[in-house]
A and B are shown apart, each in its own frame.
Chain A
Amino acid sequence: MKVLKTIGLAALGATMLAGAAAAQEYTIGVSNTVQGNGWREEMICAIKAQALASGKVKALNIAHRNTDAAGQLEDLRNLISAKVDAIVVNPADPAGIQAALAEATAAGITVVAVDQAVTEPSAYIISNNQEEYGYLGAKWLFETIGGKGNIVYMRGAAGASADSDRDKGFKRALAEFPDVKVAQEVFTGWQQDQGKQQILDYIATGVPFDGIWTSGIDNVIVDALVESQATLVPVVGADNAGFVGQLNSVEGLKGAAVTNPGSIGGAGVTLAVQILDGKKPAEQTVLVQPEIWENVTDAGKEKLKGAADPSLSPEWPVSISIPDWTTYTKDQIVACKGPGE
């Protein structure tokens, strides 16, 4: 009898252990609304790689297409129907998707917004500080041209919240330099071909300018300056592999790369898994601060040299990992394979 009881208890313990092990297996839904952009593709690959590296994610369910806030509401509700355990979302709009995020929380799903903030108070946010991104690069540019001159201001997508946040930072820096003028303001839509055409059009007008601030459509701008043999004015861009390479190699180019890691997606998975494991962060919002790498001082050059990675696609940010937040290897993110793939 006693033996039977022991066996029974052992069996019970074993099933409970198995149950606990099974509970470690999460399904994570992903919603993203910009497709075919290097930064966003890196974000998706970081999500896949981190899900695989964490060992706790059974499967990913990725809704990844070009759409608006209403389309994202649809994707989020489909993910709720699919009964995922957590949703990692890069919001099309901070306020526009609130209804679906509240529904997700009500359905017991953990919501983590990456890259941009959301207004839904129950959601966790892990994001790059976009306003600081705009400020750091603009301030460096205005200082580098000697505090006065004409700037070409090449923004991202009109209406995107990351773009308006960066604009706030840019305007803050502009207010500190009263002699700096914005000669031309355009929206590249974060499209390489469009940005290049816009700068070529502007060069063709013959109006001189002293510097270019870009919202990450950077390497093609340097290409355009070199190809049209225009004056190599200082250029600010993001830490995209192609641009970082140019800062190291193009003769006479002064420039700075502001970091904006697409690997924030991986950090979002880490945060989601931590919350599912019962380890809630102290703050609802975690901000990752950008850094600036310029090729004027020796210290900056050193950082650029260390960061350069010609093996990456030129439109991918070189900051492919975030310390403390991502655990995958470079091979894993480049392979871009999630669990079960």
Chain B
Amino acid sequence: MMRILRQQGWIAGLLVLFVLLFIAARVIQPSYGAGDFGSLVSAVLPFAFAVAAQTVVVIAGGIDLSVAAMMAVTSVTAAALMAGASEEFALLVVPFVLLMGFALGALNGILIVVTRVPDIVVTLATLFMLQGAALLILPAPGGGSADWLRSLIFGTVPLPVLPAAVTAWFPKALLLLVVLLCIVWIPLKRSRLGLSIYAIGSNELAAFRSGVPVARTKILAYAIGGLFGAMGGLSLTMSTGIGAPIPGPYLMASVAAVVLGGVVLGGGKGGLLGPIIAVFVLRLARTVLTLLAIDPNVTAIVEGTILVAVVMFGAFIAMRSRQS
């Protein structure tokens, strides 16, 4: 009970932080509103999937350094396949790319389980392999995207009952994000596999002795990470309309949001909601810094400071509550 309360407390804290930042944005720029919130969600989208991928793997007691490269390789594959192809063909491309992410993630897991080389080393190696593969698929940014796929994240959700002033606050990208995360995460969390992922993350040996299939669980955790990575890659292609072979800044950001979201890096503790809200907080922090027109070299320092301060504050609260 206490743990659940602490968990929810952390999420509530993040939400408060988000609201404070939103108010700050409104104060600096009074016109900051629904349209800008839509921009924020578009910016959040690829980061959110990267974070989801990292979260599942971290809860299982691992770490996935290949997440940004995974996004790059799936993004260029989707863009290369869809370039010049018909709108209908994209209906095949999307499941193919998702499957590819799942398989590449599983490959990460298999390599870790079979070779017994630490996660960090294996995924570092696959990072380079996927990076090279992305450049082989598309040597330069290019390719294309089906229009219907792109239209999934542009504009707002038309809700006939509600007035336009309200629907303006429901960007399609937010709907897509929530739906995709829930489709994977909720059944997973409630299944035996989900429980096993938490179990091997908190104590692999104990889980093994309790009859948890450690190897299979670990492989599936990485595979689900790969699936989320592929969603991230697709979201990149959807927002830019192209595929870019050089991985973006998603690896570090994913680890940062996982930590900020209250997931323990050692594994076994945390959920998905916290890291996702953390992504919103980190992106909105960037918006506020841009609105303030702060020296860009200082911006990165401020972002890092926010991260450390929040995590230290959280650890302090957790320590206090344990003492009392």
Which residues of A does B touch, CB under 8 Å?
A: 35, 59-71, 73-75, 77-83, 92-93, 95-99, 157-161, 163-164
Which residues of B does A touch, CB under 8 Å?
A: 25, 29, 31-32, 36, 39, 42-43, 46, 135, 138-142, 154, 236, 239-242, 244-249, 283, 286-287, 290-291, 293, 295-297, 299-300
**Which residues from B are CB-within-8-Å of A78?**
39, 286-287, 290-291
**Which residues from B are CB-within-8-Å of A74?**
39, 42-43, 283, 286
Question: A159-B135, A161-B141 known; A95 and B241 CB under 8 Å?
Answer: yes
What would 14 more interface pairs be, CB under 8 Å, given A70-B236, A77-B43?
A62-B296, A68-B248, A69-B141, A69-B240, A69-B242, A74-B286, A75-B290, A81-B25, A81-B32, A93-B240, A99-B241, A158-B246, A159-B138, A160-B140
The answer to whether B248 and A67 have CB atoms under 8 Å apart is: yes
Question: A73-B240, A81-B39, A82-B29 known; A159 and B245 CB under 8 Å?
Answer: yes
| Cβ 8 A contact of B36, one of A64, A81, A161 | A81
Give CA–CA (A100, B31) in the complex, Å: 18
**Which residues from B are CB-within-8-Å of A159?**
135, 138-141, 244-246
**Which residues from B are CB-within-8-Å of A64?**
296-297
**Which residues from A are CB-within-8-Å of B297?**
35, 64
For this complex, 17 residue pairs linking A to B, each with C-beta atoms less than 8 Å apart, are A70-B240, A80-B36, A80-B39, A81-B25, A81-B32, A81-B290, A92-B244, A93-B244, A96-B241, A96-B244, A158-B246, A159-B135, A159-B138, A159-B141, A159-B244, A159-B245, A164-B140
Instruction: Say how far A60's CB is from chain B's closest CB, in angstroms.
Output: 7
Give CA–CA (A61, B293) in the complex, Å: 5
Give CA–CA (A37, B241) in the complex, Å: 27
The answer to whether B244 and A69 have CB atoms under 8 Å apart is: yes
**Which residues from B are CB-within-8-Å of A35?**
296-297
State the 5 A-B residue pairs at the shortest beta-carbon distance, nearest first.
A68-B248, A96-B240, A74-B43, A77-B39, A64-B296
The answer to whether B239 and A73 have CB atoms under 8 Å apart is: yes
The answer to whether A63 and B240 have CB atoms under 8 Å apart is: no
Residue of A nearest to B243 (CB): A96
Give CA–CA (A65, B289) in the complex, Å: 13
The answer to whether B140 and A161 have CB atoms under 8 Å apart is: yes
The answer to whether A99 and B141 have CB atoms under 8 Å apart is: no
The answer to whether A70 and B241 have CB atoms under 8 Å apart is: no
Residue of A nearest to B46 (CB): A70
| Cβ 8 A contact of A65, one of B43, B154, B296 | B296
**Which residues from B are CB-within-8-Å of A99?**
154, 239-241
Instruction: Say how far B249's CB is from chain A's closest CB, in angstroms.
Output: 5
Question: A70-B248, A71-B249, A95-B141 known; A81 and B242 CB under 8 Å?
Answer: no
The answer to whether A158 and B139 have CB atoms under 8 Å apart is: yes
**Which residues from A are CB-within-8-Å of B247?**
68
The answer to whether A158 and B135 have CB atoms under 8 Å apart is: yes
Residue of A nearest to B287 (CB): A78
The answer to whether B246 and A82 have CB atoms under 8 Å apart is: no
Give CA–CA (A131, B89) in the complex, Å: 34
Instruction: Say how far B73's CB is from chain A's closest CB, in angstroms.
Output: 13
Question: A65-B296, A70-B239, A93-B141 known; A77 and B42 CB under 8 Å?
Answer: yes
Instruction: Say how far A257's CB is from chain B's closest CB, in angstroms.
Output: 25
**Which residues from B are CB-within-8-Å of A92?**
244
The answer to whether B43 and A73 have CB atoms under 8 Å apart is: yes
Residue of B nearest to A80 (CB): B39
**Which residues from B are CB-within-8-Å of A97?**
240
Give CA–CA (A170, B297) in the complex, Å: 35
Residue of A nearest to B143 (CB): A95
